Structure 1
Amino acid sequence: MYHARELTVATRGRGFYDITDEVQRAVAASGARDGLCTIFLHHTSASLLLCENADPDVRKDLESFFSRLVKDGDPLFVHDAEGPDDMPAHVRTVLTQNSISVPIKGGEASLGTWQGLYVWEHRTAAHQRRVTVSIVS
């Protein structure tokens, strides 16, 4: 069996947007008891993250690290068609991921105790991000 659901994630600019509950609802709606859930983000300036969901300082520290690693407006970058955060957003995406697979067990995405799924917006402006959740059982 194959089932897919498309999600739209409205971001308010750079940061993390929890999609764990939406993914769990998509898995439940599929009727799958066991299988595989793949989450795919259709963009090149945002990414997906499987991260600790208990302490928000973890996400804050990740943002601080990436801000130091890939600086907005760095003169190294030629591609800046959409502003100083344009190429840094692409680099951040390439260094992370736009697809995550999670096993389905007992009718739900089998995440660890402290794991959550996030869209990580790398642009400073608000965007509508498209995510496809695909379930195979």
Structure 2
Amino acid sequence: MHRERIEVRTRGRGTHEITRELQSAVARSGVREGLCHVFVHHTSASLIVCENADAAVRRDLERFFARLVPDGDALFEHDDEGPDDMPAHVRTILTQVSVTLPVSDGHCDLGTWQGVYLWEHRTAQHVRRVTITIV
């Protein structure tokens, strides 16, 4: 087993590709065949496997989630950190805080157009902690 932690500095709401960091961690682990588990330690950011060839896909996802879970919705009681607080939590719950990827021939075996992204759901910039475990 091999474990690493990385920090992802976000610029606010949006996606931040971490595929390269995952592939590097797998290479350093020496694991040729196995699993790469990725976990984000926050309740207002998530992880997604998404198209990496066209950024419009991720912009469309952002617009969809803005319609689905709008900031400042009167439905929400929890707004301790502002109008994007509870929507960020809902977005995280609707997506995921961990992903597990197959490792084959010493690298994450992703599809041709797949990338792994940390999705920041808050409007302000943050530093997000991510643990990568390769077995």
Specify the TM-score bucket, using the shorter chain as the normaliser.
over 0.9
Opposite residue 24 of structure 2, the aligned amino acid is R
Q: Structure 1 stretches of 5 or more lacking a match?
A: none
The reply on whether 1:123 has 2:122 as its aligned counterpart is: yes
What is the aligned partner in structure 2 of residue 42 from structure 1? 41
CA RMSD of aligned residues (A): 0.3
1:46 Cα deviation after fit: 0.5
DSSP-derived class of the 1:82 partner: coil
Paired residues, what number? 135
Q: Structure 2 stretches of 5 or more lacking a match?
A: none
Q: Deviations over 1:66-100 (max 9, x none)?
A: 00000000000000000000000000000000000
DSSP-derived class of the 1:119 partner: strand
What is the aligned partner in structure 1 of residue 93 from structure 2? 94
What is the aligned partner in structure 2 of residue 108 from structure 1? 107
Q: Deviations over 1:34-55 (max 9, x none)?
A: 0000000000001001000001
Matches within 5 A, 1:5-84: 5-84=4-83
Opposite residue 57 of structure 2, the aligned amino acid is V
Opposite residue 82 of structure 2, the aligned amino acid is G
4+ long deviations beyond 2 Å? none
Q: What fraction of aligned residue pairs are identical, expressed as a percent?
A: 65
For the residues of structure 2 that align with 1:109 and 1:56, how far apart are their CA atoms? Answer: 21
